[in-house]
Amino acid sequence: MNTIYILWLRQVKRYFRSRARVIGSLGQPLLFLLAMSFGFGPIYERAGGGNYIQFLAPGIIATSILFTALFSGIEIIWDKEFGFLKETLVAPVSRFNIMIGRTLGGATVAMLQGIIVLFISFFTGFRIDNLLLIPLGLIFMFLVALLFAAFGTAIASILEDMQGFQLIMNFLVMPLFFLSGALFPLEELPKSLRTISCMNPLSYGVDGIRATLAGGAHFGIGLDIVVLTLITFVLLYIGSRLFNRIQA
């Protein structure tokens, strides 16, 4: 447990020591909130969808968590190249504890990122629909963070250098984002794309955060939390197995 805490704390400190990284990671969510809400908001409202920022903000919160959690997992590749990971792996501690500590640290950082984006969204006009559901919304945010931090760890355990990361971003992460319902309602998609969206774990994270913070759910809160929990445990298991195969 001490190993898990130390690695968790290291991940959190590493993130907040770099002010440029914190500010830079807010650029994309802020761009989406401002450009999309003010650009497509009037069109969305005229189409009968209501206030677009109420729909958009939860999706942007989930997306910011997605990218931050994945990047925290991918940091394993950097540690491989600079030798820190080798020093950690040869220590007389369980590799499972190392993996869990790093993953929890990445998930914590990603959740804090999501909370910061949530506060920023208030300045664009977003308002929480039911204050009593905020704790449940935070649970959804943490589940999304933990799921994709574990996913990032699993990916980084396979990759040997950062060159393969662009392939992951273009062919996996961006489709996860665009087919999650973060930017537009899933009900309006063609049946084939709607089926793909139902297999996208981020869709359930976006839906759960939107249901608890803004009201209205596509899948239902119960299904959202069950799917996210199951996939998180599966990815934690896969990530731990792949992490164990890394050569010290």
Mean pLDDT of all residues in 112-129: 90
The band of 95, judged by pLDDT with boundaries at 50, 70 and 90, is confident
pLDDT in tens, 168-219: 767 788 888 888 988 888 887 888 888 989 999 999 999 999 999 988 888 9
H helices of the chain, where?
Answer: 2-17, 19-24, 27-31, 37-46, 52-82, 84-89, 95-122, 134-158, 165-168, 174-178, 191-198, 201-213, 221-244
Q: At how many degrees (to 10) do helices 134-158 and 95-122 cross?
A: 130
The answer to whether residue 248 scores a pLDDT higher than 60 is no
| Surface-to-core class of residue 231, CB atoms within 10 Å of its CB (0-12 exposed, 13-18 middle, 19+ buried) | middle
The answer to whether residue 85 scores a pLDDT higher than 80 is no
pLDDT in tens, 12-30: 777 666 665 667 677 788 8
Question: Pick the residue with more confidence: 226 or 244?
Answer: 226
Return the pLDDT at 25.
Answer: 72
Distance from CA of residue 235 to its chain's centroid?
14
CA quadruple 15, 213, 218, 57: dihedral positive or negative? negative
First vs last C-alpha separation in the chain: 22
Return the pLDDT at 91.
Answer: 65
CA quadruple 225, 230, 233, 234: dihedral positive or negative? negative
The answer to whether residue 86 scores a pLDDT higher than 70 is no
The answer to whether residue 119 scores a pLDDT higher than 80 is yes
Q: Among 123, 145, 101, which residue's Cα sits nearest to residue 34?
A: 123
pTM, rounded to two decimals: 0.90
Cα separation, 192 vs 212, whole angstroms: 28
**Domain segments of the chain as ranges:** 2-244
Return the pLDDT at 33.
Answer: 84
Amino acid at 128: I
The answer to whether residue 163 scores a pLDDT higher than 80 is no
Mean pLDDT of the chain: 83
pLDDT in tens, 153-162: 888 888 777 6
| Surface-to-core class of residue 139, CB atoms within 10 Å of its CB (0-12 exposed, 13-18 middle, 19+ buried) | middle
Cα separation, 115 vs 121, whole angstroms: 10
Return the pLDDT at 24.
Answer: 67
